[in-house]
């Protein structure tokens, strides 16, 4: 390979696969693709118009050099496109172009493309191979790994989907050079979440947010996700640690009607949970200040205008909670978190402690 900076992380799910992460590896994708999808004759490149501007022609050339027939779906960028209509359009392009069960999909883009293309692959002919080529920070550290795929309904985000593991994840961090600053920052919300979960060097590097550390940071986040996902592929136990910052964060995202993006909400959610835990004597004194300073340093928001009661009400409708209880990730210290299933009255106490 042309680059020295390559890390391979083996993900041990029911159907194991590699995440290959590096700088300057984009153009080496062809042979890696044919190794994991040896029977594919046709590849469907699924991407959005923004990503296509930078990477579609390049990807097409790489795959054609492997003697593969390429078809493509390029849909308009943005979360609003992550819907049933786009999903149907993708499936119909597959069918119109006679994509077969032995062919494969390349998901080239951020989390929206990864989720949509992944779900199209999971459902077309009851499931065909997909390879994830993430191009956003959020897709690198979160959405391309773990096998969750989804589309949104008007009734809620990610309500329709499937667990469908990719055959390979091929992540060139140089793609982040073309990603808009706001999306870089937003992805850092999840990176910081990993930092709070793991502590130590990951937290230190996350709060510094330096370009020269991004390979190390991203690979540490993927390893952390792998640690929880391989233990718990379908999210009934340990994987729930990855919801750190998401109970309050997701509630804020919903209350804002998705005008505040996910990573920003997670950052606020981390601070709120830390403050609640500190007020209840669960977290080491000073934990909130450390997380607050990291959030501020990255350039993510630290405050919300929503009140504790509306936040708890929104959390009650979260698909991750039951009628009476919700499992939250408590922060005891940077690098030490715990899962606890609590009632909504207890959640309300935490929310009031965080926002009083
Ligand atoms: N499946 C999972 O486990 C999982 C986990 C977390 C989030 N998600 C989903 O991920 C989505 C968010 O992902 P996202 O933040 O990547 O959003 P996104 O896919 O919309 O990408 C953000 C924007 O950046 C553009 N873009 C992406 N890569 C680029 C690049 N290299 N250069 C220039 N522009 C680029 C996109 O066109 C888009 O406009 C949400 O739908 C969320 O539900 C899924
Ligand atoms: Zn998240």
Is the domain 181-355 a CATH 2.60.120.10 member?
no
Q: Considering the entire predicted model, what is its pTM?
A: 0.95
* Pairing between β-strand 336-343 and β-strand 325-333 as defined by DSSP bridges: antiparallel
Residues with Cβ within 8 Å of residue 260, at least 6 apart in sequence: 252, 253, 301
Instruction: Provide DSSP, 311-323.
Output: HHHHHHTSTTS-S
Instruction: Provide mean pLDDT across the span 266-286.
Output: 98
Residue spans of the domains in the chain: they are 6-178, 181-355
Instruction: Provide DSSP, 224-245.
Output: HHHHHHHH-TTSSSGGGGGGTT
Which of these is catalytic: 214, 262, 264, 275?
A: 262
Of 70-74, 101-105, 119-123, 233-237, which range is least confident?
A: 233-237
Q: Which residues on neighbouring strands pair with residue 341, listed in sequence order? A: 327
Do the beta carbons of residue 249 and residue 208 sit within 8 Å?
no
Residue 236: band (very low, low, confident or very high) from pLDDT cuts 50, 70, 90: low
User: What would be the CATH architecture of the domain defined by 6-178?
Assistant: 3-Layer(aba) Sandwich (3.40)
Residue 2: band (very low, low, confident or very high) from pLDDT cuts 50, 70, 90: very low
- Asked if 317 is an active-site residue, the reply is no
- Please name the residue whose Cα sits nearest to atom 5 of ligand 1: 143
Q: What is the pLDDT of residue 235?
A: 60
Q: What is the pLDDT of residue 64?
A: 98
Ligand 1 atom closest to the Cα of residue 178 is 32
Q: What is the pLDDT of residue 239?
A: 87
Residue 196 above 90 pLDDT? yes
Q: What is the pLDDT of residue 14?
A: 84
Q: Quick one: how far is CA 27 from the chain centroid? A: 24
- Give per-residue pLDDT as tens, 140-159: 999 999 999 999 999 888 99
Residue 299 above 70 pLDDT? yes
Check if 249 has its Cβ closer than 6 Å to any atom of ligand 1. Answer: no
- Asked if 89 is an active-site residue, the reply is no
Please tell me the distance from the alpha carbon of residue 78 to that of residue 109, in angstroms, as a whole number.
Answer: 11
Do the beta carbons of residue 159 and residue 319 sit within 8 Å?
yes
CA dihedral sign of residues 232, 148, 161, 99: negative
Closest C-alpha to 172, from 225, 132, 117, 223: 132
Check if 134 has its Cβ closer than 6 Å to any atom of ligand 1. Answer: no
Secondary structure letter of residue 48 according to DSSP? E
Tell me the CA–centroid distance for residue 187 and ligand 2, in Å: 9
pLDDT above 70 coverage of the chain, percent: 97
Residue 186 above 80 pLDDT? yes
Check if 135 has its Cβ closer than 6 Å to any atom of ligand 1. Answer: yes
Q: What is the pLDDT of residue 168?
A: 98
- Give per-residue pLDDT as tens, 338-347: 999 999 999 9
Do the beta carbons of residue 148 and residue 159 sit within 8 Å?
no
- Give per-residue pLDDT as tens, 88-110: 999 999 999 999 999 999 999 99
Instruction: Provide DSSP, 118-185.
Output: HHHHHHGGG--EEEEEE-SHHIIIIITSS-EEEEEETTEEEEEEEE---SEEEEEGGGGGGS-HHHHH
Instruction: Provide mean pLDDT across the span 8-27.
Output: 94
Of 4-8, 68-72, 349-353, which range is least confident?
A: 4-8
- Give per-residue pLDDT as tens, 221-234: 999 999 988 776 55
Tell me the CA–centroid distance for residue 338 and ligand 1, in Å: 29
């Amino acid at each position: 390979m042309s680059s020295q900076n390559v890390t391979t992380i083996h993900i041990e799910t029911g159907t194991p696969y590699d995440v290959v992460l590096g700088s300057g590896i984009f153009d080496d994708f062809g042979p890696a693709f044919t190794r994991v999808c040896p029977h594919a004759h046709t590849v469907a490149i699924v991407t959005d118009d923004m990503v296509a501007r930078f990477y579609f022609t390049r990807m097409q050339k790489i795959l054609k050099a492997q003697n593969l027939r390429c078809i493509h779906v390029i849909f308009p960028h943005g979360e609003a496109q992550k819907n049933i209509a786009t999903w149907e359009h993708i499936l119909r392009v597959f069918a119109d172009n006679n994509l077969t069960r032995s062919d494969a999909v390349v998901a080239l883009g951020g989390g929206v493309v990864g989720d949509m293309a992944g779900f199209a692959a999971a459902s077309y002919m009851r499931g065909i191979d997909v390879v994830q080529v993430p191009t956003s920070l959020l897709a690198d550290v979160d959405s391309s790994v773990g096998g969750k795929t989804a589309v949104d309904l008007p009734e809620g985000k990610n309500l329709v989907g499937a667990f469908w593991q990719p055959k390979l994840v091929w992540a060139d961090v140089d793609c982040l050079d073309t990603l808009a600053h706001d999306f870089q920052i937003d992805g850092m919300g999840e990176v910081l979440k990993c930092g709070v979960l793991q502590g130590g060097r990951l937290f230190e590097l996350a709060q510094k947010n330096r370009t020269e550390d991004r390979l190390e940071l991203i690979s540490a986040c993927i390893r952390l996700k792998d640690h929880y996902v391989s233990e718990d592929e379908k999210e009934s136990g340990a994987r729930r640690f990855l919801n750190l910052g998401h109970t309050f964060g997701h509630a804020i995202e919903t209350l804002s009607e998705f005008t505040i993006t996910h990573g920003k909400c997670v950052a606020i959610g981390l601070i709120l949970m830390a403050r609640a835990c500190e007020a209840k004597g669960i977290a080491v004194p000073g934990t909130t200040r450390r997380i607050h300073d990291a959030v501020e340093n990255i350039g993510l928001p630290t405050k919300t205008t929503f009140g504790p009661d509306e936040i708890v009400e929104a959390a009650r409708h979260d698909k991750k909670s039951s009628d009476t209880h919700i499992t939250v990730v408590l922060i005891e210290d940077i690098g030490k978190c715990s899962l606890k299933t609590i009632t909504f009255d207890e959640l309300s106490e935490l929310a009031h402690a965080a926002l009083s």
